[in-house]
Structure 1
Amino acid sequence: MEVGSGPLRIQVVSDGRVGMENQALGLAEAIARLTPADITVKRFRWRRAFDWLPVRLKALWMLDPAGDAPFPDVSGPWPDLWIATGRATLPLSLVARQRSGGRTFVVQTQDPRMDPAAFDRVVAPAHDGLTGPNVVAITGSPHRITPDTLDAAAPDFAGRLSPLPRPRVAVLIGGTSRAFDLTEDHALALADRIEAAVREAGGSLMLTFSRRTPAVARSAMSLRLSDLPGWIWDGTEPNPLFAFLEAADHILVTEDSANMAAEAASTGKPVHVLPMIARRAPGKFAQLHADLQARGAARPFDGTLETWSYAPLAETDRAARAVLAGMKRI
């Protein structure tokens, strides 16, 4: 493909879910740190009646008109680079590659569960086991965490976080998925272990939950940990996650999320992995955590706040360089 000499035109395509969008946006931002670029985000939705259809059966007329138009009009230029994440975006990525006539380099993050040759590049977690000449396998998933993004987030929350006693412990709780569960009893057991460790160290707590956290588990943990100094984010104020990571001396993360683990390991701070209830063999999650342990980033939480150091994970930057190499921009 041929790309002009001006800033790279990058289009991030998302169905609006923050976790999905941040993967594509994180990769786009990493590319923009390496070469001049303009980033545009397009958010779309499929009409509810057609959302369940397989990728190959979806048609553009099934898109919800309330969303952004993902493709340029007849007179508009195609982006140089298209980055999308998640199964909902697959039909659009396939159309973009076909309609652009080679003008747009199409990148899909995550395992598309179809032939990766349908895209120009696929950036997939190594623990998914996807291989191919155009596959870039990375530890975890692309994300937006960098020292600069954390530093930029800190001032907005400094008034609440700076007075907290050290060590400050950021706790990132996931939830129910096909592989794991988080019952009320297990949530309380985790809370007891977290409370004991924070009190023993004389530190403070910075706790946030995922959208997948069951309400009963969220309530149980919030109540049990409410007497500790710190902040339990209830979701009603601006999200302090980046500020939590910047302020933390230790990060505790449940084992159910590749995204949270990779983000935590990008900070260079000790990452303690909290166990969940396994619904099936952990499989790829066990591979991910074994990789993080081999890199010195993560260890199973043993009830203490042991300190160690390691080279921060920089897999999103590595994927960005691979994309630019595929575009012959570096």
Structure 2
Amino acid sequence: MTAGRPLRIWAVSDGRAGIEAQALGLAEAVARLRPALITRKRIGWRGGLGRLPWRMIPPAARTGDAIAPPWPDIWIAAGRATLPLSTRMLDWADGRTFVVQTQDPKAPLARFDLVAPPQHDGLTGPNVFPILGAPNRITPEALALEFARFQERLAPLPHPRVAVVVGGRSKAHRLPADHARRLAGDIARMIDESGGSLMLSFTRRTPAPARAAMSGELSSLPGVVWDGTGENPYFAFLAAADAILVTEDSTNLATDAAATGKPLFILPMPGHSAKLARFHAELERRGIARPFAGALTPVDAYEPLAETDRLARELLRRYDGSA
């Protein structure tokens, strides 16, 4: 298809960090296997149309980056906002663009060449390739580079260095201030007892009261609390950590942490998701993660989770077969 030139790949999303990381992470994994030029595309929808079912959203209402010929060789999209475009791309490109959608699109699978949902969604089909967790941008090289950027602040921290990454409200979970304060108290006692240090990061979904409660409990510990200003040290925290704690509301956070190969503990939250429960159970079965019970209990070493690379190999196998 490419006649010896680099693959042209579009990584398409609504620009939200966790969603964009899936499309970019997979595109970058493909580029590690084969020469490729990656173009990041961020799109949106006028007048709140993005809240409608994808079938009802007219492509002409799109905002953001240009989506027009010449079409890419490979279209990798993530997130609900991309569906009005992804579902039409095979027709627009006359089948000459290989169309990939991460997550469960909740759309006819025949509109895609490859769908890559998390295993815990239970989606099946001839063009479905489930993975454990979600695609991400974590590589040893990326972690080393990010640690180098923040080394002056992080290298002096005492061991064990504990990275704590906090999500927030979702369809299935919530994080009220009183629960956040209790979690923070358990974490503070653990770090005090171990003589270690804290690297604390919140996400955009963390409610302000929960953020304030945790910061108040933990800010006196040795370490760094990222307040959302300046450059995001998230990758650097993962690189510097001896152990990682993430809240149970997010597939992305746990997948990122599991890609480091470091001890991973899941922080409980009010609420329940059967799908996420299956995901965490599989991580625990593989010896990757365990529930946080107030201590950094010893864990056996495990191979860093490399599902993005596995998915990239499958993508290229199918892309080559479609030529």
| Structure 1 vs Structure 2 CA RMSD | 1.2
Shift, 1:128, TM fit:
0.5
- Is 1:312 aligned with 2:304? yes
Summarize deviations over 1:63-87 as a string: whole Å, max 9, x none. 12xx111122xxxx32100000011
- Is 1:70 aligned with 2:67? yes
Out of 265, 278, 286, the position equivalent to 2:277 is 286
**Can you give the 5+ residue segments of structure 1 that lack an aligned partner in the other structure?**
none
Question: In structure 2, what is the Cα distance between the partners aligned to 1:301 and 1:173?
Answer: 13
Alignment of 1:271-282 (within 5 A): 271-278=264-271, 281-282=272-273
Question: In structure 1, what is the Cα distance between the partners aligned to 2:259 and 2:298?
Answer: 16
Give the structure 1 partner of residue 217 of structure 2.
224
Question: In structure 1, what is the Cα distance between the partners aligned to 2:3 and 2:110?
Answer: 25
**Can you give the 5+ residue segments of structure 2 that lack an aligned partner in the other structure?**
none
- Is 1:259 aligned with 2:248? no
Question: In structure 2, what is the Cα distance between the partners aligned to 1:203 and 1:48?
Answer: 49
Question: In structure 2, what is the Cα distance between the partners aligned to 1:316 and 1:285?
Answer: 19
Give the structure 2 partner of residue 321 of structure 1.
313
Shift, 1:50, TM fit:
2.1
Question: In structure 1, what is the Cα distance between the partners aligned to 2:279 and 2:48?
Answer: 36
Give the structure 2 partner of residue 270 of structure 1.
263
Out of 127, 132, 137, the position equivalent to 2:120 is 127
Q: Any conservation in 2 of the 1:71–1:96 contact (CA below 8 Å)? A: no
For residue 18 of structure 2, give the secondary structure of its aligned residue in structure 1. Answer: helix
Alignment of 1:1-330 (within 5 A): 2-64=1-63, 67-72=64-69, 77-278=70-271, 281-308=272-299, 309-328=301-320
Q: Any conservation in 2 of the 1:124–1:141 contact (CA below 8 Å)? A: yes
TM-score by length of 1: 0.95
Q: Any conservation in 1 of the 2:43–2:81 contact (CA below 8 Å)? A: no
For residue 318 of structure 1, give the secondary structure of its aligned residue in structure 2. Answer: helix
Shift, 1:14, TM fit:
1.5
Amino acid at match of 1:60: P
Question: In structure 1, what is the Cα distance between the partners aligned to 2:178 and 2:190?
Answer: 19
Amino acid at match of 2:280: H
Shift, 1:31, TM fit:
0.5
Summarize deviations over 1:273-294 as a string: whole Å, max 9, x none. 110001xx42001100011011
Identity among equivalent pairs (%): 58
TM-score by length of 2: 0.97
Q: Any conservation in 2 of the 1:13–1:70 contact (CA below 8 Å)? A: no
Summarize deviations over 1:150-201 as a string: whole Å, max 9, x none. 0111111000000000000000111111111111110010001000111111
Residues 259 and 97 of structure 1: CA distance in aligned 2, closer, same or farther (over 3 Å):
same
Which runs of structure 1 show a deviation greater than 4 angstroms over 4 or more consecutive aligned residues?
none
Shift, 1:140, TM fit:
0.5
Question: In structure 2, what is the Cα distance between the partners aligned to 1:271 and 1:288?
Answer: 14
Q: Any conservation in 2 of the 1:254–1:275 contact (CA below 8 Å)? A: yes
- Range with greater deviation from structure 2 (184-193 or 320-329): 320-329
Shift, 1:149, TM fit:
0.6
Residues 147 and 97 of structure 1: CA distance in aligned 2, closer, same or farther (over 3 Å):
same
Shift, 1:329, TM fit:
7.0
Summarize deviations over 1:261-318 as a string: whole Å, max 9, x none. 011001000001110001xx42001100011011111011111112321111000011
